């Protein structure tokens, strides 16, 4: 039997989901994203669960969308995988979700952390949107949630240069809730989840709902717009070149085609 792309466990009112593709640095394949969306919907429906922790491993939270899968995908393939988009399903989780991030959170990995409600980052965490180096752009909220979190000037720099930021800088920019010692990031995230889980559950869900409404009207339209631009780039030569270069472990040669 194939190993599951995610692992789940329950400890009282707190559920933990662990991304489980360590050899591929937890690359977010469509199979993994669908399993993640299923698990979150399952916990939403489970009255015993009040808060969810989402984590990876010490080396990596997630290194992004699965480049090997995307490199063979046309815009049409990508559209077919969208009905409904597991990313949208993940973002619709009603119960609070805490991301526990250690190591790399890049591309879709950074976007997944930003789609959670709070981020507890290990000192070792590194966040970035390196899609530009593949000839594409963020496609799951990186141009939208990141901009809401850190403002246009700094989001532009991250998205246009692909520069990675370390946990301390990410905290100072307002991307993460707190930075904690490397050895305790998961326990600290669970402790935060237990605190949330000790509150009135309906109040917690509606508090989350209301905080998200602070920018939701523009966020929904922005996510759709971002997704369209992301999909358009799947018909360019530069996307083929950028992803081939990653697989061949060489620098890309972009020609603007
Ligand atoms: C598929 C990946 C991967 C990815 C790493 N791997 N990232 N496979 N998709 N996103 C694979 C590598 O090919 C390699 O496989 C193995 O994982 C170990 O990676 P290394 O590169 O050897 O590790 P290291 O040198 O430590 O470098 C770590 C790294 C680097 C800096 C994180 O792997 C990296 O730059 N990864 C890509 C990051 C990225 O560009 N993310 C954005 C993706 S686009 P082999 O078989 O060689 O051992 C995106 C858009 C999402 O996220 C849109 C939302 C839908």
pLDDT (tens digit, 9 = 90+) per residue, 116-129? 999 999 999 999 99
Q: How confident is the model at residue 1 (pLDDT cuts 50, 70, 90)?
A: low
The DSSP code for 28 is: B
User: Is the CB of 68 inside a 6 Å radius of any atom of ligand 1?
Assistant: yes
Q: Give the pLDDT of residue 3.
A: 76
Q: Give the pLDDT of residue 51.
A: 98
Residues in the chain: 257
Q: How confident is the model at residue 216 (pLDDT cuts 50, 70, 90)?
A: confident
**Ligand 1: which residue has its CA nearest to atom 43?**
64
Average predicted confidence (pLDDT) for the chain:
96
Averaged pLDDT for residues 151-168: 98
Distance of CA 226 to the CA centre of its chain: 15
**Ligand 1: which residue has its CA nearest to atom 17?**
24
User: Is the CB of 188 inside a 6 Å radius of any atom of ligand 1?
Assistant: no
Measured CA to CA in angstroms, residue 198 lies from 48, 53, 159, 230 at distances of 12, 15, 38, 40
Give the tens place of pLDDT for each residue, 66-99.
999 999 999 888 888 877 899 999 999 999 999 9
Specify the higher pLDDT residue, 210 or 215.
210
- Residue written as token pair 């969208």: 82
Q: Ligand 1 pocket check: which of 36, 37, 64 to mutate, most ligand atoms within 8 Å of Cβ?
A: 64
**Poorest-confidence range of 22-36, 120-134, 177-191, 204-218?**
204-218
Going along the chain from its start, the domains and CATH numbers come out as 1-183+201-257 (3.90.226.10)
Q: What is the 3-state secondary structure (H, E, C) of 211-250?
A: HHHHHHHHHHHHHHHHHHHHHHHHHCHHHHHHHHHHHCCC
| Distance between Cα 252 and ligand 1 center (Å) | 15
Q: Which segments of 75-142 are extended strands (E)?
A: 97-101, 104-106, 118-122, 126-128
> Which atom of ligand 1 is found nearest the CA of 33?
55
Instruction: Output the CA angle 59-60-61, nearest 5 degrees.
Output: 140
Q: Give the pLDDT of residue 217.
A: 76
Pairwise CA distance, residues 112 & 141, whole Å? 8
Peptide bond into 113 cis (omega under 30): no
Helix count (H) and strand count (E) of the chain? 11, 10
Pairwise CA distance, residues 29 & 35, whole Å? 10
Give the tens place of pLDDT for each residue, 14-50.
999 999 999 999 999 999 999 999 999 999 999 999 9
Q: Which segments of 45-183 are extended strands (E)?
A: 51-55, 60-62, 97-101, 104-106, 118-122, 126-128, 165-166, 178-180
Q: How confident is the model at residue 2 (pLDDT cuts 50, 70, 90)?
A: low
Dihedral, CA of residue 57, residue 100, residue 227 and residue 242, to nearest 10: -30
Pairwise CA distance, residues 139 & 108, whole Å? 8
Q: Which residues pair with 178 in a beta bridge?
A: 120
| Distance between Cα 27 and ligand 1 center (Å) | 7
């Amino acid at each position: 039997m194939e190993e599951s792309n995610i692992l789940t466990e329950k400890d009282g009112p707190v559920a933990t989901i662990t991304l489980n593709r360590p050899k591929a640095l937890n690359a977010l394949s469509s199979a993994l994203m669908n399993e993640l969306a299923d698990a979150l919907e399952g916990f939403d429906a489970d009255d015993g669960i009040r808060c969810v922790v989402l984590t990876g491993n010490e080396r990596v939270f997630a290194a992004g969308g699965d480049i090997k899968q995307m490199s063979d995908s046309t815009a049409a393939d990508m559209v077919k995988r969208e009905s409904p988009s597991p990313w949208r399903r993940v973002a619709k989780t009603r119960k609070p979700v805490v991301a526990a991030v250690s190591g790399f959170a890049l591309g879709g990995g950074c976007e997944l952390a930003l789609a959670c409600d709070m981020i507890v980052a290990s000192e070792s965490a590194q966040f970035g949107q390196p899609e530009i180096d593949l000839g594409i752009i963020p496609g799951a909220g990186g141009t939208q949630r990141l901009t809401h979190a850190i403002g246009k000037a700094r989001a532009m720099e991250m998205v246009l240069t692909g520069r990675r930021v370390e946990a301390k800088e990410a905290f100072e920019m307002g991307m993460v809730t707190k930075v904690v010692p490397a050895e305790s990031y998961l326990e600290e995230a669970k402790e935060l989840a237990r605190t949330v889980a000790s509150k009135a559950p309906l109040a917690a869900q509606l508090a989350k709902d209301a905080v998200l409404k602070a920018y939701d009207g523009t966020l929904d339209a922005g996510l759709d717009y971002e997704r369209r631009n992301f999909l358009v780039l799947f018909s360019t030569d530069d996307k083929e070149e950028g992803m081939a270069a990653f697989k061949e472990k060489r620098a890309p040669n972009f020609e603007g085609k």
